[in-house]
Structure 1
Amino acid sequence: MESLKTEGTNFVKLGEDFQGSVKRLMDGLSALGAGPPGTPPAGGGQKEPEKSFGEQFVSGLTTFDSKAGAPPWGDDEIGEKFGVVYEGVRDGMYESMGHLSSKLQEIGKALGSMSKNYAEGEDFSDSLIKQHVPNEQGWSDPLAAPKVSARLDGPAHH
Structure 2
Amino acid sequence: MGAGGFQTEVESLKAEGTNFVKLGEDFQDSVKRLMDGLSALGAGPPGTPPAGGGQKEPEKSFGEQFMSGLTTFASKADMPPWGDDEIGEKFGVVYEGVRDGMYESMGHLSSKLQEIGKALNSMSRNYAEGEDFSESLIKQHVPNPQGSGASSGKLISHLESPRTH
Give the structure-2-normalised TM-score. 0.81
Residues 1:53 and 2:62 aligned together: no
Contact 2:149 2:155 in 1 (8 A): no
Structure 2: stretches of 5+ with no match in the other structure: 1-9, 161-165
Map of 1:43-82 to 2, 5 A cutoff?
43-51=52-60, 52-60=65-73, 67-82=76-91
Counterparts of 1:9-158 in structure 2, within 5 Å, are 9-51=18-60, 52-60=65-73, 67-139=76-148, 142=151
Number of equivalenced pairs: 145
Deviations 1:36-95 (A, max 9, x none): 0000000111112334132133122xxxx7512000000111100000000000000000
Aligned 8 A contact 1:4 1:114 in 2: yes
* More displaced 10-residue stretch of structure 1: 93-102 or 129-138: 129-138
Following the alignment from structure 2 to structure 1, what is the Cα–Cα distance between the partners of residues 154 and 85? 94
The structure-2 alpha-carbon separation of the partners of 1:50 and 1:41, relative to structure 1 and needing over 3 Å to count, comes to same
CA gap of 1:145–1:26, structure 2 versus 1, over 3 A, is farther
**1-side partners of 2:27 and 2:66: how far apart?**
40
Query: Could you tell me whether the CA contact under 8 Å between 1:134 and 1:140 is conserved in 2?
Result: no
* CA–CA distance in structure 2, aligned partners of residues 68 and 90 of structure 1: 21
CA distance in 2, matches of 1:137, 1:81: 86
Distance 1:143 1:8, change over 3 A: farther
Question: Which is further off, 137-146 or 86-95?
Answer: 137-146
Runs of 4+ more than 3 Å apart: 139-147
Measure how far apart 1:144 and its partner are. Answer: 5.5
| Alignment correspondent of 1:154 | none
Instruction: Tell me the C-alpha RMSD between the 2 structures.
Output: 2.2
Taking structure 1 as the reference length, what is the TM-score of the superposition? 0.84
Q: Is the 8 A contact 2:145 2:152 kept in 1?
A: no
